[in-house]
């Protein structure tokens, strides 16, 4: 598969390349190496919004650019090629806005989506709890209806931008009923206590939060979509986001490959470039082959999404394979770079190694993707 299956992708790649030169490379290392407590890069986030990246695939009516998912996936791949943590800033905004756009009322869309798309407000997708990760339905956060508002108590963990979010797309149960609901919650209230989680291994430009909710209030009108459909909304949102995670993996794997090719031509051992050694050539051949397969799976899923077809299976396959490919490619890149790969002062490989690892964990672990794939292939 060519890198650009659609001519419109070329334009996206060029735009991101320009943005990366001006806005990513000057801050990339500083954001990765920032001492604790880490600060969310608000200025850069705003620039990502203003560049039209967050809203790329959102309708123009709601402040987006109305582009295809294939173009959006190209954007994420390309951003993550330059800096995966910065690419994640954009991907998280899209993840959190997706439920509003797809399941919200016209009024909710008009109120929130344009500000999410422009980067004016920071939304977060607030599903995971200490005892509800892979088992996401095991929600302990409870909202109790009190007149025309819900009063919410509970705890959430590992929430991207949860430490700084203005708006939470929150999943919880209501009044002890088993079904999960989705609601929009303004985080600017005393019962919302969020902290930035420390010592994150990679993807450090984007921060991750833990949240305690004590009598947090939201109007009953902030329920998103239909009562009791929250779990379905979460899963549909994750289907879409998984294609984005796959694109993160493709971007990281491509960077690992490009760095390895360049380095192997330059590095001399035993009087010749290491690229002449068959051991190195085989590693590069395996990286290039897996990358190609990961890219094919990723763009196939995005094309199905654009065509309005079901794409849960393709999203799970793409996410699983691209995450494992990123892991494989970065590991081989480190081997090719030897000591210069392991020490971050000399190359980007050490950062890529840290950044890629979470792709097999968030938005459904690799084991969960295998469950989804097997469920589709074998039947439940």
Ligand X SMILES: Cc1cc2nc3c(=O)[nH]c(=O)nc-3n(C[C@H](O)[C@H](O)[C@H](O)COP(=O)(O)OP(=O)(O)OC[C@H]3O[C@@H](n4cnc5c(N)ncnc54)[C@H](O)[C@@H]3O)c2cc1C
Residue 134 binds ligand X, judged by CB under 6 A: yes
358 is an interface residue for ligand X by CB under 6 A: yes
Residue whose CB is less far from ligand X, 102 or 365: 365
282, 367, 374, 375: residue in contact with ligand X (rule CB under 6 A)? 367
Stretch that binds ligand X, among 44-52, 176-184, 210-218, 358-366 (CB under 6 A): 358-366
Shortest CB 158 distance to ligand X, Å: 4
Q: State the minimum distance, in angstroms, from the CB of residue 92 to ligand X.
A: 6
Quote the CA–CA distance of 107 and 100 in Å, as a whole number.
10
Closest contact distance (angstroms) between CB of 232 and ligand X is: 16
Q: Is 14 a catalytic residue?
A: no
**324 near ligand X (CB under 6 A):** no
Catalytic residue among 71, 78, 350, 363: 363
Any contact of residue 248 with ligand X (CB under 6 A)?
Answer: no
Residue 293 as a binder of ligand X (CB under 6 A): the answer is no
Tell me which residue has its CB nearest to ligand X.
133
Query: Which lies closer to ligand X via its Cβ, residue 309 or residue 380?
Result: 380
Candidates 45, 125, 192, 263: give the one binding ligand X (CB under 6 A): 125
Pairwise CA distance, residues 112 & 48, whole Å:
17
Residues contacting 336, CB < 8 A, separation 6+:
260, 263, 264, 274, 280, 283, 284
Q: Should residue 235 be labelled a site residue for ligand X when binding is judged by CB under 6 A?
A: no
Contact status, residue 246 vs residue 303, Cβ threshold 8 Å: no
- Name the segment binding ligand X (CB under 6 A); options: 29-37, 42-50, 125-133, 188-196: 125-133
23 touches ligand X (CB under 6 A): no
Minimum CB separation of residue 137 from ligand X in Å reads 12
Of the candidate residues 73, 127, 291, 302, the single one contacting ligand X (CB under 6 A): 127
By CB under 6 A, residue 53 contacts ligand X: no
Work out whether 141 is an interface residue with ligand X (CB under 6 A): no
Taking residues 147 to 186 in sequence order and writing x for each that binds ligand X by CB under 6 A, - otherwise, the string is: -----------xxx--------------------------
Q: Is 331 near ligand X (CB under 6 A)?
A: no
Instruction: Give me the active site residues, please.
Output: 363
Interface with ligand X (CB under 6 A): 125-128, 133-134, 158-160, 208, 358, 361-365, 367-368, 371
């Amino acid at each position: 598969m060519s890198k650009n299956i659609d001519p419109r992708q070329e334009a996206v790649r060029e735009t991101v390349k320009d943005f990366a030169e001006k806005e990513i490379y000057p801050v990339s290392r500083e954001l990765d190496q920032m001492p604790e407590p880490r600060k969310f890069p608000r200025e850069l986030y705003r620039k990502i919004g203003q560049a039209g990246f967050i809203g790329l695939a959102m309708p123009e009516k709601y402040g987006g650019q109305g582009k295809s998912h294939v173009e959006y996936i190209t954007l994420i791949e390309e951003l993550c090629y330059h800096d995966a943590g910065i690419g994640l800033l954009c991907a998280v905004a899209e993840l959190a806005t997706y439920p509003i756009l797809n399941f919200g009322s016209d009024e909710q869309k008009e109120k929130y989506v344009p500000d999410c798309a422009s980067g004016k407000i920071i939304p977060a997708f607030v599903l995971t709890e200490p005892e509800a990760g892979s088992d996401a339905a095991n929600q302990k956060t409870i909202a109790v209806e009190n007149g025309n508002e819900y009063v919410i108590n509970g705890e959430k963990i590992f929430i991207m931008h949860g430490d700084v979010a203005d708006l939470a797309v929150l999943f919880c149960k209501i009044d002890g009923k088993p079904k999960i609901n989705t609601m929009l919650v303004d985080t600017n209230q005393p019962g919302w206590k969020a902290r930035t989680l420390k010592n994150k291994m990679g993807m450090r430009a984007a921060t991750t939060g833990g949240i305690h909710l004590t009598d947090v209030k939201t109007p009953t009108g902030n329920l998103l979509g239909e009562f009791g459909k929250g779990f379905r909304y979460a899963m549909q949102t994750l289907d879409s986001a998984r294609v984005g995670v796959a694109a993160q993996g493709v971007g990281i794997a491509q960077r690992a490959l490009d760095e390895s090719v360049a380095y192997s031509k330059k590095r001399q051992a035993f009087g010749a470039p290491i690229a002449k050694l068959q051991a190195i050539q085989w590693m590069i051949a395996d990286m290039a082959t897996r990358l190609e397969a990961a890219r094919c799976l990723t763009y196939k899923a995005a094309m199905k999404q654009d065509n309005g077809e079901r794409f849960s299976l393709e999203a799970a396959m793409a996410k699983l394979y691209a995450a494992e490919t990123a892991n494989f490619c970065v590991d081989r890149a480190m081997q090719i770079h030897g000591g210069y790969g392991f020490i971050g002062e000399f190359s980007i490989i050490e950062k890529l190694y840290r950044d890629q690892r979470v792709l097999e964990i968030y938005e459904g672990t690799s084991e969960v993707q295998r469950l989804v794939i097997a469920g589709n292939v074998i039947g439940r």
